[in-house]
Amino acid sequence: MHLYQLNSKESIHILKEKPFKLEREIQSIFESNLGTFMDLQLVKSVIYYIYLQTR
């Protein structure tokens, strides 16, 4: 599936794919933009998560 960029009201072009070398790269980008992608906040610690669940 192609992604397009709108240049003007009547002009679009296909965006070029930029492959990732390592899965860690895409994971880092996803985690850094988690709020934008999923409207979620990343929990940094499982212990903190468990603490919140037991309150």
pLDDT per residue as tens digits for the range 2-44:
899 999 888 999 999 888 889 999 889 888 887 787 776 666 6
**pLDDT score, position 5:** 92
Structure tokens at 20: 């990732």
Q: Give the CA angle between residues 31, 37, 4 to the nearest 5°.
A: 120
Residues 6+ apart with CB under 8 A from 31: 42
Count of structural domains, the chain: 1
What pLDDT, on a 0 to 100 scale, did the predictor assign at position 11?
93
CB atoms closer than 10 angstroms to residue 42: 10
Cβ-contact 20, 26 below 8 angstroms: yes
pLDDT of residue 43: 63
Q: Give the domain range for residue 35.
A: 4-54
Rounded-to-integer distance, Cα 40 and Cα 33, Å: 9
E strands present in the chain: 4-6, 12-14
